[in-house]
Homo-oligomer: A and B are copies of this chain.
């Protein structure tokens, strides 16, 4: 595993192994705290994303490794006209592994051509964000004890939501998954996903417009932000926005072991009263993100068996 660009690059078996490593890290972190000593992670964020960058950096430091990099492109050689390939050629001389974020779709793939070290896509535009998907899978696996036989509801902006598309693809490989897409007409899941994936694989899915009509059936409710600027007009936004704000009332009829997920940052699409509810798992996702990134770094550096036993 030299590069991770698209979460679908990984087989189900590889994902299982990463989840196993992450679970082992969670069980006893101290055994992993020096395994990446003398290794350097470069975080190359051509587009700012503090949360993702800090998660990668915390992961590497928690493995005993070191970190260098940049948090936005404004001050890099890119602004002098250097190509992404050249930047990667150079920086891959300075480090042992790269986590790269870029506003252009496909940039991390181009970068792999010249990288001398393993490279992880930390998000490329609206395209892929594989470590978020792996984090989501780890969270589901830990909370539900399985990745199959689940009814998964996605709610909010399903048209542009990169995390929703990736997780839908990833979950489609497990047995007996029922998908429920909850969105306003403007923000429904794209046709290509329905046609090429859901219909093509003959998967069980339905599309609805409110949380309330399906809440009883869900094992997982995956919330995303509904951005005002996505709507055709102000009235539609005002009419619809409360429909996609999750509060304790909308959760009343849920299964007791429902889990509520969110890729964060959250603005107001989940009220803070939900935060202390045991069904809320979005802050656990954050914690899992760090552990999954630790597992991934270990695996890509080939150090997963170097751990103290």
Q: Which residues of A contact B (CB under 8 A)?
A: 30, 33, 38, 40, 42, 48, 50-51, 54-55, 57-58, 61-62, 64, 66-72, 75-77, 80-82, 85-87, 89-91, 93-95, 264-267, 272, 283, 286-287, 290
Contacts and interface: CB of A to CB of B under 8 A. Distances in A.
Contact of A61 (B68, B90, B286): B68
B68 A265 contact: no
A30 B37 CA distance: 12
Contacts of A57: 68, 94
Given A54-B69, A286-B89, A82 B40 contact: no
A50 B70 contact: yes
A90 B264 contact: yes
A80 B38 contact: no
A54 B91 contact: yes
Q: How many copies does the complex hold?
A: 3
A67 B70 contact: no
Contacts of A286: 89-90, 93
25 contacts: A38-B62, A38-B64, A48-B75, A50-B76, A50-B77, A54-B69, A54-B70, A54-B94, A58-B93, A58-B94, A58-B95, A72-B75, A77-B264, A81-B265, A82-B264, A82-B266, A85-B272, A86-B264, A86-B266, A90-B283, A93-B283, A93-B286, A93-B287, A93-B290, A94-B290
Contacts of A70: 50, 54, 71
A62 B265 CA distance: 33
B66 A61 contact: yes
Contact of A77 (B55, B265, B290): B265
B265 A94 contact: no
A22 to B, nearest CB: 14
